[in-house]
Amino acid sequence: MLNLVKYAVFTATVAIVSFNSIALEYRLPAKGSLLVGENQHYVVPEGKLTLEDIASKFQLGLTNVLEANPGVDPFLPAPGSTLVIPHQLILPNTKLEGIVINVAEMRLYYYPKGTNTVEVLPIGIGQIGRDTPESWVTTVQRKRANPTWTPTATTRKIYEAKGITLPAVWPAGPDNPMGLYALYIGNLFAIHGTNATFGIGLRISQGCIRLRHDDIEHLFNTVPVGTRVEFVNQPVKYTAEPDGNRYLEVHQPLSKTQNEFESNEPVALTFNKETTRFIAHAETDSFVLKRLLEQRTGIPTRINP
């Protein structure tokens, strides 16, 4: 798995309304519910199809597919094998408004005004030491097509250590690391595209939010300036549904010291008071809970009988 990260660095439907190459769009659930969508299964066809190809086909990031299918070969998943496509989600526990970015699951949620829907897009986030914010509320301050890139002094040093000298300003165009569209959300951060064909669903950027070309073009054309943007870090999401079912969705937390693919040691999970109270409920099946906390598949699972 370490080689996967090195390659990424160097290459710099119950509730589903529609599914296409641009975005997954879900109807918002009934009041009191946070569960949307249904999982799918996909049989890998013959041919040299990478997991990135499959993730892109189903509007997922690479980590989303790897979590849901532990042990799968990220370069050449076995033809004839069946993959879980994790399209069922628990919405992040925060305001269902504007853009919500959950860095732990590397997904962006966009709630268009007046539509009663949410669009979900996979993202790449900052490398260790160049971390994407984990708790921050801001707005889309401006948008720009064909952005230029001005590397920071720190970024220039990082590239110089690799023997690469960056220009003071990288000109706009398809070779620009920011891609062809950018939504600026602060002095140092943006939601933007990429000139790479790999890396969505990985910790790969210099701190910004990175999307595939079609996805950032879609956001650029639909998200108004002034839209609220919230960053959260919720590796564990939960919901008590109106029908009495209780679901837990567990992702691998972000490490502060090492890339998750560089070690077999899991990152420790921590719980806030609300999550602790939820999982300590009298109806929780302790066997199912233990399995979820160990496997961390990112798939919502019912934890009460």
CATH numbers and ranges of domains, the chain: 2-232 (2.40.440.10), 236-302 (no CATH)
Contacts of 267 (CB under 8 A, 6+ apart): 252, 253, 254, 255, 260
- Surface-to-core class of residue 70, CB atoms within 10 Å of its CB (0-12 exposed, 13-18 middle, 19+ buried): exposed
114 backbone dihedrals φ, ψ, rounded to 5°: 75, 15
pLDDT at 290: 98
pLDDT at 134: 93
Angle at 107 between CA 38 and CA 126, to 5 degrees: 155
On the question of pLDDT at 23 being above 60, the answer is yes
125-141: pLDDT as tens digits: 998 888 899 999 999 99
Mean pLDDT for all residues in the chain: 90
Contact criterion met (CB below 8 Å) for 184 and 160? no
The yes-or-no answer on residue 192 being catalytic is: yes
Question: Which residue is it, tokens 């160990």?
Answer: 294
On the question of pLDDT at 8 being above 60, the answer is no
The active-site residue, picked from 41, 87, 192, 251, is: 192
The yes-or-no answer on residue 87 being catalytic is: no
One-letter-per-residue 3-state SS of 73-133 = CCCCCCCCCEEEECCCEECCCCCCCEEEEECCCCEEEEECCCCCEEEEEECEEECCCCCCC
Q: Please, what's the largest Cα pairwise distance for the chain? A: 60
**DSSP string covering 153-219:** HHHHHHHHHTT-PPPSSBPSSTTSTTTTEEEE-SSS-EEE--S-SS-TTSEEESSSEE--HHHHHHH
Other Cβ atoms less than 10 A from the Cβ of 297: the count is 20
- Residues forming a β-bridge with 237: 249
171-227: pLDDT as tens digits: 998 899 999 999 999 888 999 999 988 899 999 998 999 999 999 999 999 999 999
**Number of H helices and number of E strands within the chain?**
7, 20
The active-site residue, picked from 208, 213, 218, 251, is: 208
pLDDT at 174: 87
> Which of 9-13, 21-25, 175-179, 249-253 shows the highest mean pLDDT?
249-253
Pairing, β 24-27 against β 16-19: antiparallel
Q: Which of 270, 286, 186 is nearest to 234 (CA)?
A: 270
Higher pLDDT, 27 or 9: 27
Contacts of 282 (CB under 8 A, 6+ apart): none
Question: Two tokens at 35?
Answer: 């569960």
Question: Two tokens at 291?
Answer: 């399995």
56-105: pLDDT as tens digits: 999 999 999 999 999 999 889 999 999 999 999 999 999 999 999 999 99
- Surface-to-core class of residue 61, CB atoms within 10 Å of its CB (0-12 exposed, 13-18 middle, 19+ buried): buried
